[in-house]
A and B are shown apart, each in its own frame.
Chain A
């Protein structure tokens, strides 16, 4: 299933102008603009349909009333349609497992191979921040994002779930569940006391922010109107059970609570999905506002590796509107770097996009302050909490290794296998860096992140040997 008819687009073996990894808003917007500017573009995405996280399945959504997933979701259908008509070659269900300067390797239904590309745009988006609490590996515990994916992809839901954590996506998923008529056991809100006051002080003159703020408050009001039990200032969350989840426990003030439940959806905001950019060797910095790693990029999205660019939430959390704008900006910069447009054209095209992005981003400091996860919800303090889900390494083991003088995350792997499982550190990388920094009094930048290696996704030996 290949969309588009652009004659200039090539099979493997030839060199394309721009290869894009990810067909979310960033990758789709980049592809549309690049194709318009005459570039030969190929877009790889591991999902069967374009859209990325926010617009997952939007061209063929499950037959639910439109208000369930909401207007922000359905708005993506227009972008998907433009993308499919853009002339960019689209390869669905295709995983990119290796990226280097000038080429990438992929595997999918059409076989796989290595494609040479003059520019590569990593638009792999975000993932949910790990929320390591005791028992978070028990069957029955999933993420709020997972609940939303099941709803968007298969209209699949579960009754009487507990949702716990903080952040706009959590409230959105709860609201989507309620609009679909699904009973919710409770919402346990971990947003720390005083967050709203601190955040309002940062709203300043961010006028555009008022819409976002109104939307957020609207969701909370919608949840309250629906009569869902909401517990605020939840701390010390734990999932309890032996072979599967039986209950969730938490503290508010000095009172310990317990609620029996079979499903718990956790959420603590989102962080850039940095494995691809890290594996290519792009330099990264710790962002203290967003509490995550992000690649060091110039204003157009060029990384420290020549020819490799990053757009969208994978370059730092900015939301879907800014993701699409950053994709367009990167495409224009790539066209200009490849000599397809002159400097004057580039600047004329970039100007309005950059100011729209600046306006859209003005609300970010406010959101980052409002939904800044509490230290205790990122850096586990109980020894029994698993940090590495794959290799089952708990906080106590890691703290012990750090106390014995282990110099950094890469060495921790050798002592404990932490970060060496199939997820390649995606679910523990942020926690290990922050735990290490906390225990040694160093900054996350000084501590660093695991070295990430290719392949970035599991492949068979056949994929590596090539067709």
Chain B
């Protein structure tokens, strides 16, 4: 179980986690706050519906994806806790399409 060694620096605010209200410290790293709250899995994979949790915490692995305020494929390890935020587990949905949308040719993709 993940735990904090210090008092939370941000005040506790209410967010919605899969429709449930939970209290998290405002401004804390969202993935870390969710791990401490015992949340998991964060998502299931498109190919085999395997459960996944954050892996790298630095934005490179994309295991921490969730739907935040209706937008899928958000990297929770790159987000902060914001009051009133709604976080939903992301099941399956192939994430390539909407997450890494191809840049239009006009941008000069090499």
Contact = CB atoms under 8 A, between A and B. Distances in A.
A243 interface: yes
A280 B110 contact: yes
Contacts of A243: 41, 51
A63, A64, A389, most chain B CB atoms within 10 A = A389
Given A46-B78, A280-B110, 4 more contacts: A139-B52, A139-B53, A458-B99, A464-B104
A460 B101 CA distance: 7
A157 B109 contact: no
Interface in B56-110: 56-63, 65, 71, 73, 75, 78, 80, 95-96, 99-104, 107-110
A263 to B, nearest CB: 9
B71 A460 contact: yes
Interface in B1-58: 1-6, 9, 28-29, 32-33, 35-36, 40-41, 45-48, 50-58
A137 B96 contact: no
Contacts of A460: 71, 101
Contacts of A461: 101
User: What 5 pairs between A and B have smallest CB-CB spacing?
Assistant: A146-B57, A139-B53, A458-B99, A422-B62, A281-B110
Interface of B: 1-6, 9, 28-29, 32-33, 35-36, 40-41, 45-48, 50-63, 65, 71, 73, 75, 78, 80, 95-96, 99-104, 107-110
A402 to B, nearest CB: 20
Interface in A187-210: none
A279 B103 CA distance: 12
23 contacts: A46-B59, A127-B58, A139-B52, A141-B55, A142-B57, A143-B56, A154-B32, A154-B33, A157-B3, A159-B1, A244-B53, A391-B47, A417-B47, A422-B99, A423-B62, A426-B61, A427-B61, A453-B102, A453-B103, A458-B101, A459-B100, A460-B101, A464-B104
A158 B100 contact: no
Contacts of A157: 2-5
A392 interface: yes
A427 B60 contact: yes
B54 A146 contact: yes
A453 to B, nearest CB: 6
A112 interface: no
Contacts of A11: none
Nearest to A278: B110
A177 to B, nearest CB: 11
Given A139-B52, A460-B71, A150 B2 contact: yes
B103 A421 contact: no
B70 to A, nearest CB: 12
B104 A146 contact: no
Interface string A86-109: 000000000100101000010000
Contacts of A417: 47
Interface in A240-284: 243-244, 273, 279-281
B109 A454 contact: yes
A465 to B, nearest CB: 9
Contacts of A385: none
Interface residues of A, number: 57
Interface string A130-169: 0000000101111101100110011111110000000000
Nearest to A180: B5
B47 A154 contact: no
Contacts of A145: 56-58
Contact of B58 (A137, A141, A146, A154): A146
A423 B41 CA distance: 18
A328 interface: no
A166 B110 CA distance: 37
Interface string A403-445: 0000000000000010011111011000000000000000000
A303 to B, nearest CB: 13
Given A149-B58, A156-B36, A454-B109, A464 B103 contact: yes
Nearest to B36: A156
Contacts of B47: 391-392, 417
A9 interface: no
A63 B9 CA distance: 9
A53 interface: yes
B6 A155 contact: yes
A459 B101 contact: yes
Contacts of B36: 156
